[in-house]
Amino acid sequence: MTADAKTSYQLPDLPYDYNALEPVISAEIMELHYSKHHKGYVTNLNAAIEKYHEAESKNDVAAMIALQAAIKFNGGGHINHSIFWTILGPVQNGSHPGGELLKMIERDFGSFDQFKEKFNAETIAIQGSGWGWLGYNKNLRQLEIAACANQDPLSTKGLVPILGVDVWEHAYYLQYKNLRADYVKAIWQIFHWRHIEERFAKAIV
């Protein structure tokens, strides 16, 4: 049995060249991160879903349950990286957001600088591998900072992702070595705020 169109996921196109984010993220890291790691999540997600459908067709509930961890991990990796590529861009895209997103950041965190400081602290402090996120809580109509372990998507915390930072070592180690804090602080130079603002506008509808 092969995965049909409804269950076959594809590696999205990278919206810029591998070297477009230098000097913040090297071309070598970008190529490995995108063509090896993200591609691996997509390949493994499709394989897990195919096995899940086979188990489902046999009413093998035990096998279906056993496959859910692989679907969550690889599916989360695909979701997270698909967002990550779109919220980054060349350095000249600006240093901070504007409009309604900035207003809500100031409302919920006091100021943009306070938000940035809190986001960095919580993201740098993640134990092991994971992601730091700014998410929108639709129920409370407010922005929240959250950390997710491994490749857990932000939806597992009931939040809509606005921006996120990958702090798996493969995202920075070739360039920043063990200095995760330097990487997290530097990545603010390449946030594509127009795209982030577009994500926010869709989230609050």
Which tens digits make up the pLDDT trace of 100-144?
A: 999 999 999 999 999 999 999 999 999 999 999 999 999 999 999
pLDDT at 7: 59
Q: How sure is the predictor about 95, in pLDDT bands with cuts at 50, 70 and 90?
A: confident
Higher pLDDT, 184 or 4: 184
Distance of CA 78 to the CA centre of its chain: 9
Alpha helices in the chain (DSSP H): 27-32, 39-57, 61-86, 99-109, 112-124, 173-176, 180-186, 193-203
Which pTM does this prediction carry? 0.93
pLDDT more than 90, % of the chain = 93
Q: Alpha-carbon distance 96 to 116, whole Å?
A: 10
Mean pLDDT of the chain: 95
| CA 91 remoteness from chain centre | 19
Dump the DSSP string for 170-203.
GGTHHHHTT-HHHHHHHGGGGB-HHHHHHHHHHH
- Token pair recorded at residue 53: 């459908």
Side chain identity at residue 65, one-letter code = I
pLDDT at 6: 56
